[in-house]
Amino acid sequence: MKYGLDKILSQTYAKEARVRHIKNIQVSYKHNENRFALIVSGKQSSNNQTLGKGSNEQALDSNSHRELSIGRETFLATVLTQRNDIEQNKQNNPKKIVIDFSSPNIAKPFHVGHLRSTIIGNFIANINKYFDHKVIRLNYLGDWGTQFGLLQYGLKAKNIDVAKLQTNPIKTLYDVYVYANRMSREDESVQQEARKYFSEIEQGTTSLDNWKAIRETTLQELENVYQRLGIHFDEYHWESDYNGGVIKDLMGSLENDGIIRNDESGKKITTVNNRDVTVLKSDNSTLYLSRDIAALLDRYQQFEFDKMLYVVDNGQTDHFSAVFHVVKQINKKCTDCCEHIKFGRIKGMSTRSGNVVFLNDILDEAKQKMHEQQQKDYVFNWDRALQSDGDSGIKLQYLHCRLWSLEQSCGASLPEQCDPHYLPEEVIGDVVAELAKFEHILHKSSEEYEACILVGYLLRLAKHVNRMFNELKVKNVDADLASQRLLVFHTARLVVKTGLEVLGVKPLLEM
């Protein structure tokens, strides 16, 4: 969906250079001068390429900026006339991008600690899909490791039959896990028994019935949560896909090539940033690291990706440094495509200690509170509508609903073309200046993996559109005037709608 700025810049700069070298665009409306001002600044360019070719070639490097001046009527007509030019944002060279996000552990409820990875990963997937890249949404579920040994100990200690769990099985399993962790801190033999159980299931010497039942129960619970969030995945992978038996040859190859080695205790280790890191336990049981090394190599072979993004909290920075360090020595082309997208952790939560808030509980509470608010009368107040404090998704949803209601009830119809003569007001210039930035904002959000860039933009747009609601009427005015004003409101709604969808929020039509 193009809103004119791209076309305006294309008249000044070569298209490819425009995409690669423009770092930032500022658009402002100079009402007293009857014009729009565009200030364009450049990115760092390693080969000093220029923006433009031929006799009108214009250089734009990281230390310079250029100001363009566009007449008001030209700018309005360019931005607003293209409102229905819904393009697929085709790329000359679309990328295949695999995004690993959410990735909770089984036998534990989905809590708010998982939510940041899920929301950020979904946003990154949506915005890359918007730009026509081939996106693979991958959920890598933690269904392997010593945690299952602890869970098995707890189930035996409490005499719980997993197959007979009926009411709230995930909560029961979680309580058992917390109990077993507490016992392991008090009694070292509990931890030893847990490690022994995991070693046995990895070597295939004990029954996997409990593990299979727990995995199936958790997957059903997770699918319910994702459905409530409006999030889907293209692939579900499991840590157990890379168990000791499966990756035995890979680990042997790493050892033969000197990438990993034995330490004095018999563990297989590697050195990353002058720090020894364990890859396999002394009994050859796998770890998170060994499984992730195998998973990355498998994904590269399976998907032949151009990018592999891990959306995981910053507490895993050292872990991914180790993964990329090992894999780089096998396949540098693979790790050149990999990136760890970090975000801050929600402090004060631990599944081991039982100190978490579960997402389903939050969603249920939010639904109840929204229902209660809906039943109350509300007195509209412009000061509250235009205030800068308290910005939220609800504010954007309300704006979208109001814009939709206006289109349905105003009695005006959209014009075929924009006629700027009907749109002289300063507030319209401010709104259109914001609308023109939309595509650039999406590019910037995509490049920086930052949803807050898009959110901040939508809230600024909302402030200007709410002013326009306050200052201009569409009903009970001349038909041509109403039609042109409706065009501005309609274009704003399309931008808000698209922005919300990219953020992973379903735009509402009524609240």
The H-assigned helical ranges of 410-450 are: 426-436, 438-448
Same domain, 498 and 420: yes
| Predicted pLDDT of residue 21 | 59
Which of 346, 324, 312, 179 minimizes the C-alpha distance to 259?
Answer: 324
Pairing of strands 261-262, 275-280: unpaired
Same domain, 375 and 290: no
For residue 350, is pLDDT > 70? no
Same domain, 226 and 236: yes
For residue 345, is pLDDT > 80? no
For residue 484, how many other CB atoms are within 10 A of its CB?
A: 24
Q: Average pLDDT of 76-85?
A: 74
Same domain, 55 and 117: no
Q: 47, 81, 115: which is the final residue of a domain?
A: 81
Q: Give the integer Cα–Cα distance in Å for 119 and 450.
A: 11
- Assign residue 143 a region (left: φ > 0; alpha: ψ between -120 and 50; beta: otherwise): alpha
For residue 162, is pLDDT > 70? yes
* Number of domains forming the structure of the chain: 3
Q: Give the integer Cα–Cα distance in Å for 176 and 183.
A: 11
For residue 460, is pLDDT > 90? yes
Query: For the chain, how big is the Rg over CA atoms in Å?
Result: 28
Confidence of residue 459 (pLDDT cuts 50, 70, 90): very high
Lowest mean pLDDT among 39-53, 201-215, 460-474: 39-53
Give the active site residue among 43, 53, 90, 108.
108
Sign (positive or negative) of CA dihedral 156, 162, 165, 170: positive
Residues 6+ apart with CB under 8 A from 26: 37, 38, 39
Residues 6+ apart with CB under 8 A from 425: 471, 472
Q: Average pLDDT of 462-478?
A: 96
Q: Give the integer Cα–Cα distance in Å for 308 and 318.
A: 17
| Predicted pLDDT of residue 487 | 97
Residue 270's DSSP bridge partners are 277
Q: 317, 347, 362: which is the final residue of a domain?
A: 362
Is residue 108 annotated as a catalytic residue, yes or no? yes
For residue 327, is pLDDT > 70? yes
Q: Label residues 25-35 b or e (16+ Cβ within 10 Å = b).
A: bebebeeeeeb
- Most confident option among 261-275, 334-348, 366-380: 261-275
Q: Average pLDDT of 369-375?
A: 48
Q: Give the integer Cα–Cα distance in Å for 151 and 252.
A: 30
Confidence of residue 52 (pLDDT cuts 50, 70, 90): very low
- Most confident option among 73-87, 109-123, 384-398, 414-428: 414-428
Confidence of residue 50 (pLDDT cuts 50, 70, 90): very low
Same domain, 28 and 159: no
Confidence of residue 106 (pLDDT cuts 50, 70, 90): confident
Q: Give the integer Cα–Cα distance in Å for 371 and 196.
A: 50
Same domain, 211 and 290: yes
**Is residue 271, in this structure, part of any structural domain at all?**
yes
Same domain, 283 and 170: yes
pLDDT tens by residue, 229-266: 899 999 999 999 999 999 999 999 999 999 999 999 99
| Predicted pLDDT of residue 382 | 46
Owner of token pair 């009524």: 510
The H-assigned helical ranges of 82-187 are: 112-130, 146-157, 169-186
Residue 26's DSSP bridge partners are 39
Which one has a higher pLDDT value, 181 or 288? 288
Residue 184, CB half-sphere, CA atoms under 13 Å: how many? 23
Residue 65 near residue 472 (C-beta atoms within 8 A): no
Confidence of residue 152 (pLDDT cuts 50, 70, 90): confident
Confidence of residue 365 (pLDDT cuts 50, 70, 90): low
Q: Give the integer Cα–Cα distance in Å for 403 and 486.
A: 9
pLDDT tens by residue, 401-452: 999 999 999 999 999 899 999 999 999 999 999 999 999 999 999 999 999 9
Residue 442 near residue 454 (C-beta atoms within 8 A): yes
**Is residue 86, in this structure, part of any structural domain at all?**
no
Same domain, 290 and 373: no
**Is residue 509, in this structure, part of any structural domain at all?**
no
Report the amino acid identity of residue 339: E
Instruction: Give percent of the chain with pLDDT exceeding 70.
Output: 79
Q: Give the integer Cα–Cα distance in Å for 89 and 208.
A: 48
Owner of token pair 């969603």: 363
**Is residue 511, in this structure, part of any structural domain at all?**
no
Q: Give the integer Cα–Cα distance in Å for 57 and 48.
A: 13
Instruction: Give percent of the chain with pLDDT exceeding 90.
Output: 54
Q: Give the integer Cα–Cα distance in Å for 117 and 120.
A: 5
For residue 305, how many other CB atoms are within 10 A of its CB?
A: 19
What CATH number should be reported for the domain holding residue 201?
3.40.50.620
**Is residue 90, in this structure, part of any structural domain at all?**
no
Owner of token pair 């592999």: 308
Confidence of residue 24 (pLDDT cuts 50, 70, 90): confident
Q: 342, 362, 382: which is the final residue of a domain?
A: 362
Lowest mean pLDDT among 111-125, 315-329, 457-471: 111-125
For residue 429, how many other CB atoms are within 10 A of its CB?
A: 21
Residue 42 near residue 4 (C-beta atoms within 8 A): no
Confidence of residue 56 (pLDDT cuts 50, 70, 90): very low
Lowest mean pLDDT among 87-96, 381-390, 458-467: 381-390
**Is residue 510, in this structure, part of any structural domain at all?**
no
SS3 assignment, position 212: helix
| Predicted pLDDT of residue 7 | 65
Give the active site residue among 114, 268, 340, 437.
114
- Global pTM? 0.84
Confidence of residue 354 (pLDDT cuts 50, 70, 90): very low
Lowest mean pLDDT among 20-34, 260-274, 399-413, 467-481: 20-34
Is residue 31 annotated as a catalytic residue, yes or no? no
Domain span at residue 10 reads: 5-81
Same domain, 433 and 445: yes
| Predicted pLDDT of residue 289 | 97
Average pLDDT, the chain: 84
Pairing of strands 275-280, 65-71: unpaired
Is residue 114 annotated as a catalytic residue, yes or no? yes
Sign (positive or negative) of CA dihedral 17, 23, 28, 30: negative
Same domain, 435 and 494: yes
For residue 22, is pLDDT > 90? no
Q: Give the integer Cα–Cα distance in Å for 394 and 374.
A: 12
| Predicted pLDDT of residue 405 | 96
Residue 139's DSSP bridge partners are 236
| Predicted pLDDT of residue 353 | 44
What CATH number should be reported for the domain holding residue 471?
1.10.730.10
Same domain, 159 and 48: no
Confidence of residue 19 (pLDDT cuts 50, 70, 90): very low
**Is residue 350, in this structure, part of any structural domain at all?**
yes
Residues 6+ apart with CB under 8 A from 173: 107, 108, 151, 162, 165, 214, 217, 218
Same domain, 385 and 464: yes
Residue 236's DSSP bridge partners are 139
**Is residue 398, in this structure, part of any structural domain at all?**
yes
Q: Average pLDDT of 130-152?
A: 91
Give the active site residue among 111, 440, 490, 497.
111
Report the amino acid identity of residue 292: D
CA angle 263, 266, 268 (to 5 degrees): 65
